[in-house]
């Protein structure tokens, strides 16, 4: 039995959970929090900075959500499902995964971090810079989606995109100038594995530092 260590409100935990749910892979969820010190100890041991999610597969501990999905694709998922078997297609999937992690999730998190640092007086210059970056990425993604039609297939791309766009739109809403991206976000949130993550995270929305919007 696999075990995933993380938290239901964590975007990167979602990323791994979506892959597990989509492939119907049996696993145990290990909550990381103040009431589960032994789970936190596993996470601290797994990677250099002790961050979750962490996948436990026998004696092996895999950290970083993308690496977890790569591990699942190699050892537990339907071949070619999460990562295409064709190397050219696989390279494209991995590229988009990096876009969502580095240019959506990380930029969104920089705004969240400002409010965590000082909710009353965040650095507005840093916040404005991040919002401008998100606008630029939204425009790039909206154009890219012209060649990426929505489907019920869940690959590494959807695993990365769903949590990134879910929280990014809370921080800096996707405008009507990017209709494809808005529609694709809605499509992703309707996929059963993603909807399951959304619902499991609902009890923790009060912890969102900018205030969780009354939607989704």
In which band, very low, low, confident or very high, does the pLDDT at 137 lie, cut at 50, 70 and 90?
very high
> DSSP string covering 121-181, please?
S--HHHHHHHHHHHHHHHHHHHHHGGGS---S---HHHHHHHHHHHHHHHHSPPPTT-HHH
Dihedral angle, C-alpha 54, 57, 62, 63, nearest 10 ° = -10
Indicate whether this model's pTM tops 0.85: yes
Q: What average pLDDT does the structure give for the chain?
A: 97
Percent of the chain scored above 90 by pLDDT? 96
Question: What are the percentages of helix, strand and coil residues in the chain, rounded to 5?
Answer: 60, 10, 30
Q: What is the per-residue pLDDT across 76-129, written as a single tens digit (0 to 9) for each? A: 999 999 999 999 999 999 999 999 999 999 999 999 999 999 999 999 999 999
pLDDT of residue 55: 98
> DSSP string covering 177-213, please?
T-HHHHHHHHHHHHSHHHHHHHHHHGGGGGG-TT---
pLDDT of residue 150: 86
In which band, very low, low, confident or very high, does the pLDDT at 11 lie, cut at 50, 70 and 90?
very high
Ordered structural domains, the chain, with CATH? 2-75 (3.40.30.10), 87-195 (1.20.1050.10)
pLDDT score of 57 more than 90? yes
Long-range contacts of 212-216 (CB under 8 A, 24+ apart): 212/170, 213/170, 216/166, 216/170, 216/189
Q: What is the per-residue pLDDT across 141-166, written as a single tens digit (0 to 9) for each? A: 999 999 988 899 999 999 999 999 99
């Amino acid at each position: 039995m696999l075990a995933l260590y993380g938290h239901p409100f964590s975007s990167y935990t979602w990323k791994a959970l979506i892959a597990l749910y989509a492939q119907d892979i049996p696993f145990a969820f290990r909550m990381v929090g103040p009431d589960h010190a032994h789970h936190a100890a596993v996470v601290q041991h797994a990677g250099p900075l002790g961050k979750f999610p962490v996948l436990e597969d026998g004696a092996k501990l895999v950290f970083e959500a993308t690496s977890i999905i790569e591990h699942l694709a190699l050892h537990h998922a339907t071949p070619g499902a999460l990562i295409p078997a064709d190397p050219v297609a696989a390279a494209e999937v991995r590229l988009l995964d990096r876009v969502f992690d580095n240019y959506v999730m990380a930029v969104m998190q920089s705004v969240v971090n400002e409010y965590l640092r000082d909710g009353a007086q965040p650095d507005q210059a840093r916040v404005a810079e991040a919002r401008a970056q998100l606008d630029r990425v939204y425009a790039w993604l909206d154009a890219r989606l012209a060649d990426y039609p929505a489907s019920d297939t869940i690959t590494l791309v959807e695993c990365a995109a769903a949590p990134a766009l879910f929280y990014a739109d809370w921080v800096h809403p996707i405008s009507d100038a990017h209709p494809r991206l808005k529609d694709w976000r809605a499509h992703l949130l309707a996929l059963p594995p993603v909807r399951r993550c959304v619902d499991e995270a609902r009890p923790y929305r009060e912890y969102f530092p900018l205030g969780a919007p009354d939607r989704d």
